[in-house]
Amino acid sequence: MRLSRYFLPVLKETPASAEIASHRFMLRAGMIKQHSAGIYSWLPLGFKVLTKIGNIVREEQARAFAVEMLMPTIQPAELWKESGRYEDYGKEMLRITDRSNRELLYGPTNEEVLTDVFRSYVRSYKDLPQMLYHIQWKFRDERRPRFGVMRGREFLMKDGYSFDLDMEGAVRSYNRMFVAYLNTFSRLGLKAVPMRADTGPIGGDLSHEFLILADTGESEVFCHADLVEMDAPGNVDFDGDLQPLVDQRTALYAATDEMHDKDAFEAQVPEDKRLSARGIEIGHIFCFGDKYSKPMGAKVMGPDGKEHFVQMGSYGIGVSRLVGGIIEASHDENGIVWPKSVTPFGAGIINLKTGDAEADKVCEDIYARLGTAGVDPLYDDKNDRGGVKFSRMDLIGLPYQIIVGPRGLKEGIVEVKDRKTGERQNLSPDAAVNFIIEQYKDI
């Protein structure tokens, strides 16, 4: 992409309303535009990151056998009356009336809708298990929308739902998502810790929240310090027994404040390993058995010739919250520092003298070659001063910058800067291109 043809409305001033780094940088880097409390447009740069995160989520869901679909944002109130949640959900639910006075709502979650899909088609245990998900906008009329996309009112969630014949199967499905979530967050460059969680309005008794530690997080968390450094499981057989992997990560103490038990914490965790910190909830999984299948009549014929209510679970990831979460975990005073897996562009090319024949030629050549190699470069071909270009490129946080100017070119070199470390190397244009391509070999 050529910057001269892109839409990147960078702000010079930090908007006063933004209290935390991710919100400030997302506004300044022209990633989002607020229209109303907790309601945003995703501008091109922000939308690109959102899409990349969504695609990593999709890849890891597929590895765990989850199947993608799409459900509507607007749902009929009747389904929620069937499950008994219509009244319970309270003011967070946006209730709508259509022209024929039918009650509708903007979905805050989709247990009812998918249970309705399931009960319409599935009759036999032979068609189980099923694991379906979608990535769709949700609306919750939060009491305090804040911190930008971290607590929006309209926000993008991946939500998945599993259907099994019995509790044993339901726990297998739960474990698959548990492992898939760890792998997903690790690919996003995050150290997510699964913590025992309260089940809230979704219900059920087996539940974990996945949190990343950050001073600006809204949750208070207590855990064994070793959990934070534990590697994600990576390549595992999702058909095999995942219980040992899950046990390994649930054996050590980890709880959010609602579930925290001070005595247990002190008894189970040696003093030098007791971590009490703040965290951002990026995912939440639940196993709730027949909480929805029973009132909504979702049942299948079992091998015993009898009807069984299916045992269900639901699995959420805050896709739009993750954009903010990743920035909270990776930034410095100059701006964002994107992990390679979700960076909106692979590298930035800065032309220090647009209009200079040699600089233009070298930049065009680097731009074309990185593009062909699939690195997706952003070429700053605008007429701004060097200082403006440098700070803009630092702010938007692409992992690498190639800086091209007439002075260096006289000696046949360009400069390659690593955004994270600040390290700079002088290389020939050829070597610079090869260096960048090499960095993306395994992404």
Ligand X SMILES: Nc1ncnc2c1ncn2[C@@H]1O[C@H](COP(=O)(O)OP(=O)(O)OP(=O)(O)O)[C@@H](O)[C@H]1O
- Candidate residues 48, 176, 224, 284; the one interacting with ligand X per rule CB under 6 A: 284
How many residues in the shown chain lie near Mg ion by CB under 5 A?
A: 1
Closer to ligand X at the Cβ: 212 or 242?
Answer: 212
- What's the min distance (Å) between Cβ of 142 and ligand X? 5
Structure tokens at 361: 């030629």
Q: Extract long-range pairs of 85-88: CB within 8 Å, 24+ residues apart.
A: 85/112, 85/201, 88/201
Closer to ligand X at the Cβ: 140 or 389?
Answer: 140
Asked if 283 interacts with ligand X (CB under 6 A), we say: yes
Per CB under 6 A, which region of 78-86, 184-192, 279-287, 393-401 contacts ligand X? 279-287
105-134 positions binding ligand X, by CB under 6 A: 109
- What's the min distance (Å) between Cβ of 74 and ligand X? 18
Binding mask 336-375 for Mg ion (x = CB under 5 A): ----------------------------------------
- Residue 88 CB burial class (10 angstroms; 0-12, 13-18, ≥19): exposed
Closer to ligand X at the Cβ: 155 or 253?
Answer: 155
Sheet holding 74-76, edge to edge: 74-76, 103-106, 94-97
Structure tokens at 232: 């994600």
Closer to ligand X at the Cβ: 143 or 441?
Answer: 143
Sign of the C-alpha dihedral computed for residues 114, 120, 121 and 123 taken in this order: positive
Closer to Mg ion at the Cβ: 315 or 338?
Answer: 315
**232 phi, psi to nearest 5 deg:** -70, 155
| Bridge partners (DSSP) listed for residue 106 | 74, 94
392 neighbors 380 (Cβ within 8 angstroms): yes
| Bridge partners (DSSP) listed for residue 348 | 378, 401
- Candidate residues 281, 290, 381, 394; the one interacting with ligand X per rule CB under 6 A: 281
DSSP per-residue codes, 169-223: HHHHHHHHHHHHHHHHHHHTT--EEEEE---GGG--SEEEEEEEE-TT-SEEEEE
297-316 positions binding ligand X, by CB under 6 A: 316
Closer to ligand X at the Cβ: 282 or 393?
Answer: 282
State the binding partner of 208 from Mg ion, ligand X, none, CB within 5 to 8 A by kind. Answer: none
**263 phi, psi to nearest 5 deg:** -65, -45
State the binding partner of 142 from ligand X, Mg ion, none, CB within 5 to 8 A by kind. Answer: ligand X
Binding mask 137-166 for ligand X (x = CB under 6 A): ---x-x--------xx--x-x---------
Closer to Mg ion at the Cβ: 203 or 339?
Answer: 203
State the binding partner of 188 from ligand X, Mg ion, none, CB within 5 to 8 A by kind. Answer: none
The residue number with the shortest CB distance to ligand X is: 318
How many residues in the shown chain lie near ligand X by CB under 6 A?
A: 15
275-304 positions binding Mg ion, by CB under 5 A: 284
Strand, helix or coil at 305? coil
Closer to ligand X at the Cβ: 165 or 177?
Answer: 177
Per CB under 6 A, which region of 14-22, 98-106, 184-192, 278-286 contacts ligand X? 278-286
- What's the min distance (Å) between Cβ of 279 and ligand X? 10
290 neighbors 312 (Cβ within 8 angstroms): yes
Helix (H) or strand (E) holding 24: helix 21-28
Q: Which residues contact 6 (CB under 8 A, 6 or more apart)?
A: 44, 378
Cα–Cα distance, 301 to 124 (Å, whole number): 5
Kindly provide the residue ranges of all beta strands, DSSP E only, lying in 203-357, ordered along the sequence: 206-213, 219-224, 254-256, 274-289, 299-301, 307-309, 311-318, 331-332, 335-336, 347-351
Binding site for ligand X (CB under 6 A): 109, 140, 142, 151-152, 155, 157, 281-284, 316, 318, 320-321
Instruction: List residues binding Mg ion (CB under 5 A).
Output: 284
